[in-house]
Structure 1
Amino acid sequence: MKLRNILAASTAALALTTTAYADGHGPMKIGITQNNVGVDSYQTTYEKAFIAAAEANDAVETVVLDAGGDVARQIAQMEDLIQQEVDAIIIWPTNGEAVIPAVRKASQAGIPVVVTNSNIAEAGFDFVSSFSGPDNVTQGARSAEIMCDKFKDMGIENEAQVVHITGQPGYTTAIERAQGFEDRLPEVCPNVTVVDTQPGDWNREKSQQVMEAFLVKYDDIDGVYAGDDNMGVGALNAAKAAGREGIIFVGATNFAVGYEAMAAGDYWGSIYQSPVDDAEAALKTAIDILNGEELPFLNYFDTPKITQDNMGDFTKPVF
């Protein structure tokens, strides 16, 4: 479906749900079901920031849920929020395809749905009022540019070999960042070869194990791209333990551990993304929708490149 048609459908649906708030309705009841708060510090910080932003707003009442990475649990949580007749639902999808029926059910119940951080699959766009979060395809592309520029500085852009550690399979952010990286790298460094790709599931320990296997399998690895810094540092730890030096590590979502590894000169670059901005943007999007504001379907916040060369321009991440 073309984006302008999605926008028109979303705007028409919202007109039915926002009048009460414009007329001085009581507190907005906004439910959120998150992906997996315990899996990494980004999601933990996001939840804390979301709760703090909601508590600071007297016009908002929230129901905060966590799916724990379980699709079935998230679908049940969506059902529960619909039964509670919340005014809006924010979902951080565990799986961009599997949650579509639940999102559709909320939409059919007249409840606007905001997707946060990682979008659902395009087949579900008709049932979403707005997406709030980063442009993950652009992030992947920027990571490819960071890596290519470094290879050119080193003079190995015509021979470098790269391994790729992705996030959770089926998870939209993982898919989009991988797509952005894999599409952009051949454009900027056509002779660089991606020799292997394996999932790290956003988990540092698993990514370390994936990298250990890569190091056994490949004698020559010049670069590692990881879908976030948590996984990237796991890969870095494996390389350190194996005594393999000179590998260029590039990630996305600059975690504190990534920032520290960059400061130590072990990790080259990443993409700067704030979970606080992410959480506050999602809540604001839901509030604006309920207040009848006209919003674009895709609400991106900027996520710039960060490397050892410019990291002094950025504060250390809090997660």
Structure 2
Amino acid sequence: MFKKKVLSVMVATLVSGAVYAQDEVRIGITQNNVGVDSYQTTYEKAFEEAAAANDNVDVVVLDAGGDVARQIGQVRNLIQQQVDAIIIWPTNGQAVIPAIRQAYNAGIPVVVTNSKIADAGLEYIAAFSGPDNVQQGASSAEMMCEALDGEGQIVQIAGQPGYTTAMERSQGFEDRLAEACPGVEILETQPADWNREKAQRVMENFLTKYDVIDGVYAGDDNMGVGALNAAKSAGRAGDIVFIGATNFAVGYEAIERGEYYGSIYQSPVDDAEAALQTALDVLAGKDVPKMNFFETPKITADNLAEFDKPVF
């Protein structure tokens, strides 16, 4: 089975329990919203397991619950605790910059994980570790072009408004779609906040509003399967191509059944391990690139057998 390896050498070193310094390091992480989906839940578990495998690492694990103000307070609290490094999965890529700047001024390196912050804050971080969400959107657009032979009318179900990952995936999808197949028209885009039930309601509204929908692009498979469920209930699923991102187990299963055209393979376990290892490398004084993207390949029925079914 094909298993993506994120920063493979670094992850292997982490899992083996090797460390770069004799002294224990204390790393704080503030996550976006663990309860919102199974990707983030799996990420948290993998992060804690990776830290536990390393005798010289102590972690403070926090969850912002999707609340920007709470996350800013958590960063400030970690600064007061004088942790050695901070990892942040930003709730809002712009709003968290002042807190990150405070950590920078306090001499605490910050690693941004999974979702990038705005460009204005890049000078204050040590590194970013995560997927290239613009490329993910572009890859999804290429699959849509292939599935529709370059012609059709589609709708887009986006993630949480103002959230960097959602914006970047939409940007990558829209830009690449216009370039690769200008004959495919986006009728409308609506957010569903990474929520399957909300995506189902959004899709129900789309189905009522538009007599012809040839394709659906969803910012993740959780929302994509919600849209699929709405179309199945309306008896229109067979006429629509569904393409998502961040391949969830439900998306993988839908591809197996032939109901879902494709997605983007991304592992929360690799995501978490890479973030922790990036922080350890920064603390060890290693030469760490500012942007550490990991591979997120396309997944369709043609290559499904090469990938392990996601555990989230």
TM-score, structure 1 length as denominator?
A: 0.91
Q: In structure 1, how many angstroms separate the alpha carbons of the residues matched to 2:230 and 2:147?
A: 21
The one-letter amino acid paired with 1:68 is G
Paired residue for 1:99? Answer: 96
Q: In structure 2, how many angstroms separate the alpha carbons of the residues matched to 1:142 and 1:301?
A: 14
Alignment partner of 1:30: what SS?
A: strand
Match for 2:32 among 12, 31, 35? 35
Paired residue for 1:135? Answer: 132
Deviation at 1:232, TM superposition (A): 0.3
309-318 or 133-142: which moved more? 309-318
The one-letter amino acid paired with 2:61 is V
The one-letter amino acid paired with 2:197 is E
The one-letter amino acid paired with 1:234 is G
Deviation at 1:25, TM superposition (A): 5.3
Match for 1:66 among 60, 63, 66? 63
The one-letter amino acid paired with 2:194 is W
Q: In structure 1, how many angstroms separate the alpha carbons of the residues matched to 2:209 and 2:91?
A: 31
Matches within 5 A, 1:7-46: 24=21, 26-46=23-43
Question: Can you list the C-alpha shifts for 1:168-218, whole angstroms capped at 9, x where unaligned?
Answer: 011100010000000000111111100000001000011111101100000
Question: Can you list the C-alpha shifts for 1:41-77, whole angstroms capped at 9, x where unaligned?
Answer: 0000000000000000011100000000010110110
Alignment partner of 1:63: what SS?
A: strand
1:224 aligns with 2:216: yes
Matches within 5 A, 1:223-242: 223-242=215-234
Paired residue for 2:122? Answer: 125
- Structure 2 portions without partners, runs of 5+: 1-18
Alignment partner of 1:132: what SS?
A: strand
Match for 1:209 among 201, 205, 208? 201
Alignment partner of 1:53: what SS?
A: helix
Deviation at 1:151, TM superposition (A): 1.0
CA contact (8 A) 2:31 2:88 kept: yes
Deviation at 1:88, TM superposition (A): 0.2
The one-letter amino acid paired with 1:111 is I
1:57 aligns with 2:54: yes
- Structure 1 portions without partners, runs of 5+: 1-20
CA contact (8 A) 2:22 2:56 kept: no
1:168 aligns with 2:165: no
CA contact (8 A) 2:32 2:63 kept: yes
Alignment partner of 1:165: what SS?
A: strand
CA contact (8 A) 2:241 2:261 kept: yes
Alignment partner of 1:94: what SS?
A: coil
RMSD: 1.0
Alignment partner of 2:239: what SS?
A: coil
Paired residue for 2:145? Answer: 148
Paired residue for 2:77? Answer: 80
Q: In structure 1, how many angstroms separate the alpha carbons of the residues matched to 2:101 and 2:228?
A: 41
Question: Can you list the C-alpha shifts for 1:273-301, whole angstroms capped at 9, x where unaligned?
Answer: 00000000000000000000011100011
The one-letter amino acid paired with 2:231 is A
Question: Can you list the C-alpha shifts for 1:226-258, whole angstroms capped at 9, x where unaligned?
Answer: 000000000001101111132000000000000
Alignment partner of 1:317: what SS?
A: coil
List structure 1 segments (4+ residues) > 3 angstroms apart after TM superposition.
none
Paired residue for 2:301? Answer: 308
Q: In structure 1, how many angstroms separate the alpha carbons of the residues matched to 2:304 and 2:126?
A: 36
Deviation at 1:138, TM superposition (A): 0.3
1:275 aligns with 2:268: yes
Q: In structure 2, how many angstroms separate the alpha carbons of the residues matched to 1:36 and 1:25?
A: 33
1:296 aligns with 2:296: no
Alignment partner of 1:90: what SS?
A: strand
The one-letter amino acid paired with 1:305 is K
Q: In structure 2, how many angstroms separate the alpha carbons of the residues matched to 1:232 and 1:28?
A: 40
Q: In structure 2, how many angstroms separate the alpha carbons of the residues matched to 1:102 and 1:233?
A: 36
Q: In structure 1, how many angstroms separate the alpha carbons of the residues matched to 2:146 and 2:276?
A: 37
The one-letter amino acid paired with 1:51 is E
Q: In structure 2, how many angstroms separate the alpha carbons of the residues matched to 1:240 and 1:117?
A: 32
The one-letter amino acid paired with 2:169 is R
Paired residue for 1:14? Answer: none
Deviation at 1:262, TM superposition (A): 0.6
Alignment partner of 1:194: what SS?
A: strand
